[in-house]
Chain A
Amino acid sequence: MKIRDPNTSAVVDQALITHFKAPHSFTGEDVVEISCHGSPVILRLVIDSILRLDARVASAGEFTLRALSNGKMDLSQAEAIRDLINAQTDAAARQAVRQLSGELSLRLQPFKDKLVALIVPLESAVEFVEDDLPQTEAQETGETLEKLVSEIRVLASTFSHGHLLREGVKVTLVGPPNSGKSSLFNRLLNTDRAIVTEIAGTTRDTLSEHINLSGLPVMLTDTAGMRESTDLIESIGVERTQRAMAEADLLVVVVDGAVDLGCEDRHFLNWTNESSPVIALNKSDLPMFRDRLTSEFGGNPRIVQVSARTGAGVDELRDAILTPFAAVNGNEVGLLITDARHYDLLRRAEVELESAQRLLREGASEELVLVGLYGALRFLGEVTGETTADDVLTEIFSTFCIGK
C-alpha cells in the first residue's frame, strides 16, 4: 500500500499494512502494523506523516501496559518482557520467555489454590458456625500446610541461581602477586584489557568486565595481588581485593605453577578454602612447571592447569567456572525465580505460613491461623493478582451448602 504525505500527497513509501483485530492482538485492542522499507529516513518520514494526522508516539512500555490492562498478560509476564529486553545471555532470555508464557503465574496458581482450599474450611467454621459443616481435622490441615510451605521454599530457593541470570555471576580472580591473574583475565576476555608486566604488584585496583561464558552472564574481576605492602596505593588495592572476594559468587585462585608453593600461596589457599574456589595452576607452558603440584591438592576436581600465555587449558578453566552454575544454565533447567521482588514475596509468604503452622500446632483459634494464611495469599497475589474476600466466599459457597 502506498503511504503518502498528508500535505503534499507525495508517496513516501510502499509499505505492508497488517491489521490485528481486537482482541486478537498483542494489546488486545485494534492494532495496525505498518512494515516499511528499512531506511531510517523513510521510517522518520512515515512517522512524521502519521503524527500530522493527530496521532502520538507511544510512551515507553505503553503497549505492554495496554496488554496488561486488557488482561492479555499478568504482572509477572510484563516483568518478563522487561527482563527479555534487558537479557544479557541466552539463558537469561530463556528464563524471561518462560515467565512471559505465564509460567511463574502458572507455577504459583496451584499454591494459591491450595491456600484457598486450606482457608475455606477454617473460614467456614468461623463464619458459619450454625451450619451443618464437616469438622476440619487440624492434623490434616497441618500436613497440607507443611507440604505447601516446603513447595514454596523449594521454588524460592531457585533464586540463589536465578538471580545470577539477571545480575550475572561474579567471578573474581585472586592470588599472590605475579601469579598471572591479569594475563588470565585478558585471555578469558580475549582482549588486552589489563596491563601485564613482569613486575609484581602492577595491578593496583580491581578491574571488572562482563563476559558471556557459554550463555552464562559473568562479571569477571581482576584483583591486585595480596601481600603485605608498605606502598599506600597498593594497600588500598589490597583492601579492594578483599571486598571483591567477599562479594564474589566464585573465586578463581591463580597460582604460579612454575615455582614451588610459597607460604603466600598456601596462605591464600587456606584462606579461600571455605569458599571452594577453582584453582588455576598457571604458566603450564614453562619448562619448570611442576606437575606434581596438582597431586598436592589431593585430586581436587576444581584444579586446572592453564597457560595464560599460550591459551592452553583455558577451555578447561571455563568449564571449571561453569560447573557450579550448571543448574542455572542448562536448557533442561526448570523455572527459576530471577527477580528479587518475586523472591522477596515468596519468602514473606513462607514466613506467614510458618506462623500459621505454629499457631495450628498450638491449637490456636481459627481466626489467628487465618491471619498467616491470608497474609501468604496476599503476597502470592502480588505476583499473580489479588484474591479478594469475595473469591474466598465464592469458593466457600461452592464447597459447602451454607445457609439456614
Chain B
Amino acid sequence: MIFDEVFDVIVIGGGHAGCEAASAAARIGAQTAMVTLNLDLIGQMSCNPAIGGIAKGHLVREIDALGGIMGRVIDRTGIQFRLLNRSRGAAVQSPRAQADRALYRKEMRRTLEATPNLHLRQGLVVDLVVHQERILGVEMQDTRRIGAKAVVIATGTFLNGLVHTGRQSYAAGRAGEPASVELAEALKRLGFPMGRLKTGTPPRLDGRTIDWSAFQPQLADEDPVPFSFSTERIEQPQISCYIGYTTREVHKEIRANLHESPLYSGKIKGTGPRYCPSIEDKVVKFADKDRHQLFLEPEGHETNEVYLNGFSTSLPAQLQLDLVRMIAGLEEARIIRPGYAIEYDYVDPRELGPGLQSRRVKGLFHAGQINGTTGYEEAGCQGLMAGINAALFVQRREPFRLRREESYIGVLVDDLTSQGVDEPYRIFTSRAEYRLALRYDTADARLEPYGRELGLVGEKDWERFNARRDRIALLKSALESRRLRRSDPNYSAVSSLLAIDLGDSVTLAQLSQRPGITCRIIEELLPIEVRRRTNARDLESALADLLYAGYIDGQRATMERLHQHDGLRIPADLDLGSLDGLSREMIERLERARPVTFGQARRIAGLTPAALSTLLVHLSSKQKAA
C-alpha cells in the first residue's frame, strides 16, 4: 500500500479526546498527525461552555498531573472559576470554570501548534487500512492515504450523527457540520459491536435581549482555584452567571406539545444520559415539580451568545422560542441557535483492553464518546490515556494503566472496558471505591511521577511538584510535633472557642481533627518559619491528609476483607465452558467483558454471586496448583 504521508500515530478528531491524544503522543516522541474535519474548530465545546464540576474537576486535575493540556488551557481561558462544595470535605471539593468558548478553541489550537512532532491535517477519514488484524493507516475522502503504526479514533458524536429538531432530522456531527458516515460503516465491517446513544443541547440566546435583572447572579470565586498545578494565577477577568427558573405554564406548554418532540414521538432510538435530561424529560418524569432551575451562562467576553443551561431540548425551533419567552426575564429574548438532540454511534468499549487499545485490530485505539462516555473531561482523560498508549505501542514499550484505587481515570477506564455502557457514561465520585483517597488536591502526589516517567512532565513542573511535596511533608511534621500548651497565649482562646478543656497540651494534628477548628486557626498556631515557607493550599492538603487517613485505612481493611481475591488473574486462555455450574448466560457475560482479574469480574453487571464463587473456586485452586 502506498501512502501519501506516514506517521507513527494518527489521531482522528480534534475534540477534547483528540487534542489530549495528539499532544501526549507527540510529546512522548511519536510523529503524530491529528486529522480533523475543520481545523478552525479544534477544541470546540459542543455543549455547555464549562469544564470541571464534582468528579469532572478531579479528572482535569489528574489529566494535568499526568502532563495533559486541558487544565492549562481552561486556566488561560476560564471566565468564571468556582470551587464547588467549599462547605464540605476536601475529598468532594472540585473546581469548575466557565470558559470563553472561542478563546478556549484558540488557546487549544495554539498549544497544539506549539507542540513538536505534532502535525495538523484537515480532512474526512472514510476508511481504516487494516491488514492481518493490524492497523496500517487511514484513507481520506479526498483519496489521500496516511500511514501510521497506531491510530486513535476520537470522533465524538460524529459517527453516523443524526441531528433532531422537532420533526426534522438530518445527518450531522454537530449542528451544521457533516457526519462521519463512512468511518462508522468501516468499523461495522471490521466487526465492532456498535450501539446508539443520544445527547442534546439547549438553545443559545442573544444576551442583548435578556432582562438580566430578573435573574439572580451567581458570582465567581474571589480567589479562583486553577485546574493546573502549574498555574499560579487566573488572569482572565471574571464574570457572573445567572440563575432563573421555569414555570408551571412552561411545563404545561411542553406537555401539550410532547408529540412534537422526537424523544417522545419515537423518532429517537438512542439512550440519553439520565443526569443530563432534556427539559421534556424533566417535565414528564418529575411532573410534580413546580419549577426547574436554569443557568444563563455567557459564552465569552466578546460575544452576545448566552447558553441557557438546563433547557436542553429537541422541540421545534419556533416552539423553543415560545417556551423561552414564557420565562420571566426572557419575554423579549431571541434565540441565536436553537437547541437540538443528536444521536450517534458508539463502539462497545468492552472491545478495548485496559490501555484503550482494541483487541480486534492491533494498534487501533478508541477514546471519548465513541466509547459511550459524555463530557469533555471524560473524553480528555481517555484521549490522554489512548495517546500515551499509542505512542508506547509504537515505541514497543509496556502499556500504561492506572488503578481504580489511585485515580478517577483508572475508575473510568476500568468501568468502561469491563462493564460497557448502556447510557452515556459520566464520572461520579461515588463510582470510586476510595473517593476519600482521590482528592483533587492530591492528583499531583498520586500521578505526577507517572507523568514524569512518561516524559510528559517537564523540568520546571517537576521542580514545582517536588517543592510542593516537600512543603506538605514539612507541614505534616510540624503539625505532629508542634503542641499547643496551657502556657501558650493562644491556648485559652482556642479552648474557649471549642468550649472544652484541651488538657495540658495537644498537638496541632490532634487539634485539627476537632469540629470547629478551621485551617486559619491552625495556620495561626504554626511556627513562623513553617508558615513563611508554605501556603494556605499546602496546609489544606496536609490537614485533609490527616483527617482522612484513619477513614481510608478503615475502608481499606473492610475492602480487603471483602475483596481479598480481587488481584487473582484470570488466564486469557481460560475455557469458561469447562467450569462446572456456569450457565450459558454467565459465560456470555464473562466472554463479552473478558475480565483480566477477579476484581474486574466482580464488577461485571448481572454476574450472579454464585457465578463469581464458581470462578473464584476455580482460580484459587489453579493458583494453589501453580
- Using CB atoms and an 8 Å cutoff, list the residues of chain A in contact with chain B: 28-29, 59, 62, 65-66, 68-71, 74-75, 78, 123, 126-132, 348, 352, 362-368, 371, 375, 378-379, 382, 385-386, 388-390, 392-394, 397, 401-404
- In the complex, whether B562 has a CB less than 8 A from a CB of chain A is yes
Task: Assess the B430–A129 pair: CB atoms within 8 A.
Answer: no
- In the complex, whether B212 has a CB less than 8 A from a CB of chain A is no
Task: Assess the B295–A393 pair: CB atoms within 8 A.
Answer: no
Task: Assess the A389–B608 pair: CB atoms within 8 A.
Answer: no
- Interface residues as binary, B418-456 with A (CB distance below 8 Å gives 1, 0 otherwise): 000000000011110001100000000000000000000
- In the complex, whether B609 has a CB less than 8 A from a CB of chain A is yes
Q: Could you list 7 further interchain pairs (A-B, Cβ under 8 angstroms) beyond the known A371-B551, A382-B562, A402-B277?
A: A59-B580, A68-B610, A123-B430, A132-B291, A375-B555, A397-B274, A403-B275
Task: Assess the A69–B276 pair: CB atoms within 8 A.
Answer: no
Task: Assess the A401–B274 pair: CB atoms within 8 A.
Answer: no
A127/B558 contact (C-beta < 8 A), A69-B581, A367-B88, A402-B275 known: no
Contacts of A371 in B (CB 8 A): 436, 551, 554-555
Task: Assess the A129–B84 pair: CB atoms within 8 A.
Answer: yes
Selected from B53, B551, B585, B614, the residue in CB contact (under 8 A) with A130 is: B53
Q: Shortest beta-carbon distance, B301 to chain A, in Å?
A: 22
Within 8 A of A (CB), among B58-103: 84-85, 87-89, 91-92
Task: Assess the B92–A366 pair: CB atoms within 8 A.
Answer: yes
A28/B92 contact (C-beta < 8 A), A130-B53, A401-B286 known: no
Task: Assess the A69–B54 pair: CB atoms within 8 A.
Answer: no
CA distance A75 to B551 in the complex (A): 30
7 nearest A-B residue pairs (beta carbon): A68-B610, A365-B89, A65-B581, A132-B293, A401-B286, A397-B274, A365-B88
Q: How many residues does chain B have at the interface if contact means C-beta atoms less than 8 Å apart?
A: 52
Task: Assess the B89–A131 pair: CB atoms within 8 A.
Answer: no
A375/B275 contact (C-beta < 8 A), A130-B53, A365-B92, A389-B431 known: no
CA distance A123 to B291 in the complex (A): 22
Task: Assess the A389–B428 pair: CB atoms within 8 A.
Answer: yes
Q: Shortest beta-carbon distance, B129 to chain A, in Å?
A: 38
Task: Assess the B435–A69 pair: CB atoms within 8 A.
Answer: no
Q: Shortest beta-carbon distance, B532 to chain A, in Å?
A: 30
CA distance A379 to B581 in the complex (A): 25
Contacts of A392 in B (CB 8 A): 430
Closest residue to B96 on the A side, CB-wise? A130
CA distance A123 to B293 in the complex (A): 20
Task: Assess the A127–B54 pair: CB atoms within 8 A.
Answer: yes
CA distance A93 to B613 in the complex (A): 25
Within 8 A of A (CB), among B544-559: 551, 554-555, 558
Task: Assess the A362–B586 pair: CB atoms within 8 A.
Answer: no
Selected from B435, B551, B605, B613, the residue in CB contact (under 8 A) with A388 is: B605
Selected from A29, A379, A385, A390, the residue in CB contact (under 8 A) with B609 is: A385
Task: Assess the B609–A367 pair: CB atoms within 8 A.
Answer: no
CA distance A363 to B517 in the complex (A): 13
Contacts of A130 in B (CB 8 A): 53, 84, 295
A sample of 12 cross-chain residue pairs with beta-carbon separation below 8 angstroms, ordered by A number, consists of: A66-B581, A126-B54, A127-B54, A127-B430, A131-B293, A132-B292, A363-B515, A366-B88, A382-B562, A401-B285, A404-B48, A404-B309
Closest residue to A126 on the B side, CB-wise? B92
Contacts of A394 in B (CB 8 A): 274
Contacts of B277 in A (CB 8 A): 401-403
Task: Assess the B55–A127 pair: CB atoms within 8 A.
Answer: yes
Selected from B53, B92, B583, B586, the residue in CB contact (under 8 A) with A367 is: B92
Task: Assess the A69–B586 pair: CB atoms within 8 A.
Answer: yes
- Using CB atoms and an 8 Å cutoff, list the residues of chain B in contact with chain A: 48, 53-55, 84-85, 87-89, 91-92, 273-277, 282, 285-286, 289, 291-293, 295, 309-310, 428-431, 435-436, 515, 551, 554-555, 558, 562, 580-583, 585-586, 603, 605, 608-611, 613-614
Contacts of B85 in A (CB 8 A): 126, 129
Contacts of A69 in B (CB 8 A): 581-583, 586, 608, 610-611, 614
Contacts of A127 in B (CB 8 A): 54-55, 92, 428-430
Task: Assess the B295–A375 pair: CB atoms within 8 A.
Answer: no
Q: Shortest beta-carbon distance, A329 to chain B, in Å?
A: 32
CA distance A123 to B92 in the complex (A): 10
Contacts of A397 in B (CB 8 A): 274-275
Task: Assess the B54–A66 pair: CB atoms within 8 A.
Answer: no
Closest residue to B278 on the A side, CB-wise? A403
Closest residue to B607 on the A side, CB-wise? A69
Closest residue to B297 on the A side, CB-wise? A404
Task: Assess the B609–A68 pair: CB atoms within 8 A.
Answer: yes
Q: Shortest beta-carbon distance, B238 to chain A, in Å?
A: 17
CA distance A389 to B430 in the complex (A): 6
CA distance A74 to B310 in the complex (A): 42
CA distance A266 to B98 in the complex (A): 86
CA distance A348 to B84 in the complex (A): 34
CA distance A348 to B286 in the complex (A): 37
Q: Shortest beta-carbon distance, B553 to chain A, in Å?
A: 11
Closest residue to A65 on the B side, CB-wise? B581
Q: Shortest beta-carbon distance, A363 to chain B, in Å?
A: 6
Q: Shortest beta-carbon distance, B393 to chain A, in Å?
A: 31
Contacts of A402 in B (CB 8 A): 274-275, 277
Task: Assess the B276–A403 pair: CB atoms within 8 A.
Answer: yes
Contacts of B295 in A (CB 8 A): 130, 404
Contacts of B554 in A (CB 8 A): 371
Question: Which of B282, B555, B582, B586 counts the most chain A CB atoms within 10 A?
Answer: B555
Task: Assess the B88–A29 pair: CB atoms within 8 A.
Answer: no
Q: Shortest beta-carbon distance, B353 to chain A, in Å?
A: 22
Contacts of A401 in B (CB 8 A): 277, 282, 285-286, 289, 292
Task: Assess the A404–B310 pair: CB atoms within 8 A.
Answer: yes
CA distance A386 to B611 in the complex (A): 13
Contacts of A382 in B (CB 8 A): 562
A367/B275 contact (C-beta < 8 A), A74-B609, A75-B609 known: no
Task: Assess the A62–B551 pair: CB atoms within 8 A.
Answer: no
Q: Shortest beta-carbon distance, A112 to chain B, in Å?
A: 15
Contacts of B431 in A (CB 8 A): 389
Closest residue to A371 on the B side, CB-wise? B551
Q: Shortest beta-carbon distance, B94 to chain A, in Å?
A: 9
Selected from A59, A68, A128, A365, the residue in CB contact (under 8 A) with B608 is: A68
A65/B48 contact (C-beta < 8 A), A371-B436, A389-B431, A397-B275 known: no
Q: Shortest beta-carbon distance, A207 to chain B, in Å?
A: 39
